[in-house]
Structure 1
Amino acid sequence: MDVNKPGKVRVVFDCAAKYNDTSLNNQLLQGPDLMNSLVGVLLRFREKKKALSADIEAMFHQVHVIEEDCHALRFLWWPDGDMSVLPKTYCMQVHLFGATSSTSCAAYALRRTASDNANKFPDEVIETVKRNFYVDDCLKSVDSEEKATKLAADLQSLMKIGSFRLTKWISNSRLVIDTIPDYERAPMVVSLSPESELPYDRVLGINWNVNDDFITFKIKKTNKPVTRRGMLSIVSAIFDPLGLLAPVTLRAKAIVQSLCRRKFGWDEAIPQIDHDEWQRWIINLPCLENVRISSCFQPKYFSTLKNKQLHVFSDGSKTGYGACAYLRITDENDNTACCLVLGKSRLAPIKQASIPILELCGAVVSCRLYAMLKEELDLKIDKVVFWTDSMIILGYINNTLRRLKTFVGNRISYIHKMTSPEQWRYIDSCSNPADIASRGIDPGDNTSISLWLNGPDYMAQDESTWS
């Protein structure tokens, strides 16, 4: 097939033209990236109490290719599998799984369905299609069961107009599930009795305890050789897009980096001291299955929120550097809660760097986390505070007159661009949860995990008591 003939990728060209994509030459077959961020979808899923999850059935196959472009999807077929005869040539009439352009074209068709029917449905329904879908998965949270029921019905009606079937529905509310026909529910809740508990589910790779509304972790036991290759395979298998386990995985990555620094081969036997440290980490790894994180930022007993604050902590050490962001919320009854929203840990470079430099890198990471949360969260944040346990970093940030060395100056310039010096405050190292992110912890260290997930104790107190 001559792919240079005109019309072969017209669907992608049309898709790109609608969104004024200026980098089309670099995305000839892939098309523009119309996908929502995975982290953003998961963050918005945790904002409110009543959660919904659904899936578009065979999404790619619902999007047709115009006839003259079908030849770009030709394939050969041997009838009855007989390779001795000449094959027949067929053309796909719909977008197929595995084609580079399918994701972009299907996402465009989904968004076009919403925009073409914007006058027929409430704004929240249209925004849900644009902001709460990741490929074919829909994750959404709302304030009440009534809103969830109405939203589910409207989404199904909107999707039908575009010939998309929204199915496999599941919710943490039984009332919402009862309003959805059995044939449209997820298989595990099709014949759910009133006495039985809601099951576990996986939403975009995250384990969701639907009945108790918690995020949990499932650790797969694998028998990998204790080498750089086997260790890295185990660490990489822990799927944690929100960084909720960042300090735990940092400890394992530090062991691998230490072997790399000493130039051990991928399959070479490692020294006994490293072997023992790795085994301690592996033995304690199943302890993570006991970690339960609320799926919603708001506790169930909370009423209407009156204040929402974002607190971002940063730190650096000889092992690594990192940052973590917490949402501190207060309701109308003056109840206060604080929970981890996003975490990030990075190893220190193999080439040795000073602690102040690593502290500065941690502060930059905290600004990047804030930039991401500002873009992705739908919650209106009333106040943002940045915390560090380094007086040197606070001195850098409050310096607006003296010139700094290039490395430091560039990073301070970025911090000033994203924040103001008045937003930065000091915290002692013992209370700083980012200290855990920069040093790493073992999976069985429950005290450190509690501080990491809930933030410092004083966050639950009145602001007047803060140092």
Structure 2
Amino acid sequence: MGFARRLQMSELKGPVGKTWYVPHGLVEQPNKPGMPRLVFDARSKFNNICLNDALHNGPLLMTDMLDTRGSNCVSVFLATPRRPGPTDRAPNVGPHIRCKPSPTCAAYVLRHIVEDHPEYADVAELIAKKFYVDNYLDSFNTIEEGIATCRRLRELLFLGGFVLGQMATSAREILQSLPATERANPDLNIDLDALPVHRTLGLEWNGEGDHFFFTLVIPTAITKRQVLSAVSAIYGPMGFLAAVTITAKVLLQDAWRVGHDVQPDGRRPKKLGWDHPLPPNLQERWDCFVRSLESLRELRVPRCLRPTSFPANDTTITLHLFCDASLFALGASLFQRSECRGIIALRLVAARSRVAPVKQQTLTRLELMAALLGARLLKRYLQLLQLPCWSHWCWSDSDNVLYWLRSKATLYAQFISSRKEQILSVSPASRWRHVPSELNPADDLSRGIEASELTEGHQSLAGPAFLLMGEEEWPQRFGGGAVQPEALEIVRPVAVCEEVRVNAVVATEAGASSLPPPTIGNIIESSTTLSALKRSVAGLNAAPGEELTPSLLRAGLDCCIKMAQKSAYASEINALAKGNQIGRDSPLHKLSPFLDPDGLL
């Protein structure tokens, strides 16, 4: 391929410490037969050190991997740029370097090509946003747009010394416009053969039907380590199978808990090691899960978020976020609702599921965590799909979560208030609505379902039926449901004593004159311990000979705290005293500060 050559014996005698030989070999993935890759392994160690140990990752220049699913409906193609060499006779073989800065270097080179050729400014944004390492993925509204963009990209990359090869598309017209050597299947008969299947970024895509499908091959697993490896191999950036795979993640967490939880009879079983066999009950659950995955072979998920019959300029698009939680897991699913001339279509955009934290939380807290998980997902797709911030609705079946988001109160536990602010920074409280649990598609993400239940018409993939109707048919409640006061976690302010007024007069021994009273600032500077400070300040407000009671000591400490607060946060205290919000440049902005009735911050 021109990337490597045989060394001469004289070249092996390089200076010690200056030459590093990187081993390489040919690797072929079972999922991509006939497409071997030449791998340079920079992770290989010699004398307990490898090349990667001496390299930096570099800045993050890659695009978001979630942007692999287009909302345009005519065509999509996948392509890989490669540098041709004098011995390039195997177009399906490409080099791969397991090197830490490789992704950054790949993205930098592509962007540098754009900078060197400003006449291709029309495709510059595509280079920056549509490449994920060496994979280009895009979709177009029309065949003509796809052909023109493909041609411009090929020209630009060729100027940089690259050939955009291994190209695949769902549009035969685009394939016909490409040289056979640059197609993923050069021998394909475009007129007679069905478009082939391609696998990229953890997804299997059928070009003929323009849909994703799933063929999961799970190896036998009898230990915790093998289960972890198998669960990690079920990879899907869109989360189409999240309602199914969450059951395996919960099982893995249960395996970790073996030996950590005390049994009802008081026994604590031995901890389960990574290479120890699973207990019989967990092994049975795992085997049942693996057997059920066979039914997913029939599942098909459309690639395009907008039906082909919906013109882009005549379609109204809104995103609908659903979130839910149980004591075992929490999840969020995002749907795109497209409406064109009275016809409505609903497609799953992405879904996320997480196991509940090992440290047990209340159900209302988990519901709030699910809402935050959904808000983060919504934020990313509002940016990726370039939709206005108001073109969405958020749904939750938790009355407490809706109460928190709509409440103007700030006296909540830090766990609640911090997550509330993060959610509201993405979606205002006016965009949150209540949905009954039986109509919430995220309910399956928090409890898990059998793989045989997951069909194209299932609610977790097809969305709730009410979104296919007019807005007047949707659940109309925005809040105001029955909340659990004890679960709201309202922090009650601590009542403090009246502010201490310093009126003491210190007389001289002769009693003939008086000195200015000692200031609290002087006492603070001269005190060496907190106990001495409290007693000195409290003594200023006590009558001569009066015993220093706990209330006086507490009031003295409050005086010192108030003085220190005024010194450090004078502008914040003045703003809050006038009923205004503190400035965004204040270090206290994210802490939701307030003044209590006694003026303490």
Q: TM-score, normalised by structure 1?
A: 0.82
Asked if 1:218 corresponds to 2:215, the answer is yes
Asked if 1:50 corresponds to 2:75, the answer is yes
The answer for the alignment partner of 1:285 in structure 2 is 293
From 228, 234, 238, the equivalent of 2:230 is 234
Give the partner amino acid of 2:214.
Answer: F
Shift in Å, 1:58? 4.4
Q: What secondary structure, in the 3-state scheme, does the structure 2 residue paired with 1:159 have?
A: helix
Shift in Å, 1:151? 0.8
Asked if 1:308 corresponds to 2:317, the answer is yes
From 64, 75, 92, the equivalent of 1:37 is 64
The answer for the alignment partner of 1:105 in structure 2 is 105
CA offsets 1:150-190 (integer angstroms, 9 cap, x no match):
11111111111111111111110111111111111112x53
Contact residue 323 and residue 434 of structure 1 kept, 8 A:
yes
Q: 1:27 to 1:133 in 2, by over 3 A?
A: farther
Deviates more, 1:374-383 or 1:419-428: 374-383
Shift in Å, 1:202? 1.3
Shift in Å, 1:137? 1.2
CA offsets 1:276-331 (integer angstroms, 9 cap, x no match):
22222111111112111001001222233431101111111011111111111112
Q: When the two structures are aligned, how many residues end up with a matched partner?
A: 406
Contact residue 74 and residue 171 of structure 2 kept, 8 A:
no
CA offsets 1:63-87 (integer angstroms, 9 cap, x no match):
xxxxxxxxxxxxxxxxxxxxxxxxx
Alpha-carbon distance in 2 for matches of 1:297, 1:417: 26
Q: Which has the larger radius of gyration?
A: 2
Shift in Å, 1:231? 1.8
Shift in Å, 1:402? 4.3
Contact residue 323 and residue 365 of structure 1 kept, 8 A:
yes
From 119, 138, 156, the equivalent of 1:158 is 156
The answer for the alignment partner of 1:439 in structure 2 is 447
Contact residue 254 and residue 347 of structure 1 kept, 8 A:
yes
Where do residues 174-185 of structure 1 align in structure 2 (5 Å cutoff)? 174-185=172-183
CA offsets 1:332-380 (integer angstroms, 9 cap, x no match):
x222111111111010112221110100100110111111112322455
- Percent identical among aligned pairs is 30
Alpha-carbon distance in 2 for matches of 1:404, 1:368: 22
Alpha-carbon distance in 1 for matches of 2:430, 2:407: 12
From 232, 244, 251, the equivalent of 1:248 is 244
The answer for the alignment partner of 2:588 in structure 1 is none
Give the partner amino acid of 2:98.
Answer: G
Q: What secondary structure, in the 3-state scheme, does the structure 2 residue paired with 1:444 have?
A: helix
Q: What secondary structure, in the 3-state scheme, does the structure 1 residue paired with 2:209 have?
A: coil
Contact residue 114 and residue 121 of structure 2 kept, 8 A:
no
Where do residues 61-100 of structure 1 align in structure 2 (5 Å cutoff)? 97-100=97-100
Contact residue 308 and residue 380 of structure 1 kept, 8 A:
no
Give the partner amino acid of 2:335.
Answer: Y
Q: What secondary structure, in the 3-state scheme, does the structure 2 residue paired with 1:277 have?
A: helix
CA offsets 1:379-399 (integer angstroms, 9 cap, x no match):
557611110000011111111
Provide structure 2 residue ranges, at least 5 long, that are not aligned to the other structure.
Answer: 1-14, 19-52, 87-94, 260-271, 476-601
Q: What secondary structure, in the 3-state scheme, does the structure 2 residue paired with 1:215 have?
A: strand
Q: What secondary structure, in the 3-state scheme, does the structure 1 residue paired with 2:416 have?
A: helix
Give the partner amino acid of 1:328.
Answer: R
Shift in Å, 1:102? 3.5
Asked if 1:406 corresponds to 2:414, the answer is yes
Alpha-carbon distance in 1 for matches of 2:470, 2:192: 42
Asked if 1:296 corresponds to 2:295, the answer is no
Alpha-carbon distance in 1 for matches of 2:170, 2:321: 30
Contact residue 247 and residue 345 of structure 1 kept, 8 A:
yes
Q: CA RMSD in A?
A: 2.4
CA offsets 1:78-121 (integer angstroms, 9 cap, x no match):
xxxxxxxxxxxxxxxxx982343343233212112113323x23
The answer for the alignment partner of 2:39 in structure 1 is none
Q: Which protein is richer in helix relative to its size?
A: 1
Q: What secondary structure, in the 3-state scheme, does the structure 2 residue paired with 1:287 have?
A: helix
Contact residue 299 and residue 455 of structure 2 kept, 8 A:
no
CA offsets 1:405-449 (integer angstroms, 9 cap, x no match):
111111112112222110000000011011111111121113697
The answer for the alignment partner of 1:327 in structure 2 is 336
Give the partner amino acid of 1:201.
Answer: H
Alpha-carbon distance in 2 for matches of 1:437, 1:182: 44
Shift in Å, 1:234? 1.6
The answer for the alignment partner of 1:461 in structure 2 is 469
Contact residue 353 and residue 445 of structure 2 kept, 8 A:
yes
Alpha-carbon distance in 1 for matches of 2:391, 2:54: 40
Q: What secondary structure, in the 3-state scheme, does the structure 1 residue paired with 2:394 have?
A: strand
Contact residue 73 and residue 307 of structure 2 kept, 8 A:
no
Alpha-carbon distance in 2 for matches of 1:279, 1:395: 42
Provide structure 1 residue ranges, at least 5 long, that are not aligned to the other structure.
Answer: 5-25, 63-94
Contact residue 111 and residue 129 of structure 1 kept, 8 A:
yes
Alpha-carbon distance in 2 for matches of 1:403, 1:272: 48
Alpha-carbon distance in 1 for matches of 2:174, 2:339: 27
Q: What secondary structure, in the 3-state scheme, does the structure 2 residue paired with 1:231 have?
A: helix
From 363, 387, 391, the equivalent of 2:395 is 387
Q: 1:426 to 1:134 in 2, by over 3 A?
A: same
Give the partner amino acid of 1:283.
Answer: R
Q: What secondary structure, in the 3-state scheme, does the structure 1 residue paired with 2:452 have?
A: coil
Q: What secondary structure, in the 3-state scheme, does the structure 2 residue paired with 1:150 have?
A: helix
From 344, 361, 365, the equivalent of 2:369 is 361
Q: What secondary structure, in the 3-state scheme, does the structure 1 residue paired with 2:124 have?
A: helix
Contact residue 247 and residue 449 of structure 2 kept, 8 A:
yes
Shift in Å, 1:258? 1.2
Q: 1:182 to 1:128 in 2, by over 3 A?
A: same
The answer for the alignment partner of 1:259 in structure 2 is 255
The answer for the alignment partner of 1:121 in structure 2 is 120
Asked if 1:204 corresponds to 2:204, the answer is no
Alpha-carbon distance in 2 for matches of 1:272, 1:448: 34
Q: 1:2 to 1:108 in 2, by over 3 A?
A: farther
Shift in Å, 1:192? 1.5
Alpha-carbon distance in 2 for matches of 1:448, 1:284: 16
